[in-house]
Structure 1
Amino acid sequence: MQNSIILQNLSREDLTDLIGNVFDTKFKDIQKIQNTQTENNDLMTRSEVLELLQINASTLWHYQNKGRITVYKIANKCFYKRNEIMQSLIALKKM
């Protein structure tokens, strides 16, 4: 009952602004979620992975050969998916 009284007191322009603000807020929330997901799927170069993991090139090569990290090659350039790198990290158990 209260909601209908409030809506009756709103002008058409106020109602349009209210609805627009709700849609803007929801749209921005969806954009944030989508941006977070695409950031996680970014391709990283070899040097970026080395810096992220703080390892040297030979260690990265061993990880690739053992199948711990997947490498994608385009025109002899190596790329890695950020989310796959993060998933390859293993949590240590405390003893």
Structure 2
Amino acid sequence: MKTKAILLESLTIEQLQQLIGTSIKNGISELHKELETKNYNEELLTREETCKFLKIDSSSLWSWTNKGKVKAYGIGARRYYKRSELLESLSLLKK
């Protein structure tokens, strides 16, 4: 039986730093690969998903769509919103 235990007493500071650095690099690499394969930015959201994503009411979404603040795409009576465009429509507020 193989365990993944690390005895910190037997490691030097440099070895510990290298171990932590390698672990972080591997984690970031895996996350980057996952984000590339899923391509979250071009994901289409339904009205309900968009409201949950923006944490708003459906009447606010309807109003913002009519005012042109957010872009909607449709097929028949269904409406979809691109996640990337929703993020782009956010604006920085001045203090």
Same fold (TM over 0.5): yes
The answer for the alignment partner of 1:35 in structure 2 is: 37
Q: CA deviation at 1:39?
A: 1.1
Tell me the equivalent position of 2:89: 88
SS state at 1:44 partner: strand
* C-alpha distance in 1 between matches for 2:42 and 2:37: 10
Deviation at 1:35, TM superposition (A): 2.6
User: Match of 1:19?
Assistant: none
Alpha-carbon offset, residue 76 of structure 1: 1.1
What is aligned with 1:61?
A: 62
- CA deviation vs aligned residue, 1:16-70 (integer Å, no higher than 9, x gap): xxxxxxxxxxxx88x826336x211100010011011111111111100110000
Q: Percent identity?
A: 38
| Deviation, structure 1 residue 75 | 2.3
Amino acid at match of 2:37: N
Please, which runs of 5 or more residues in structure 1 have no aligned partner? 1-27
2:74 match: secondary structure: strand
Query: 1:72 matched to which residue of 2?
Result: 73
Question: Structure 1 length as normaliser, TM-score?
Answer: 0.60
Aligned residues: 65
Higher Rg of the two aligned structures = 1
Higher helix fraction: Structure 1 or Structure 2? 1
Structure 1 CA distance for aligned equivalents of residues 65 and 92 of structure 2: 19
For structure 2, the residue ranges without an aligned partner over 5 or more in a row are: 1-28
Q: CA RMSD in A?
A: 2.0
1 CA distance for matches of 2:50 and 2:68? Answer: 16
| Alpha-carbon separation, structure 2, partners of 1:35 and 1:91 | 29
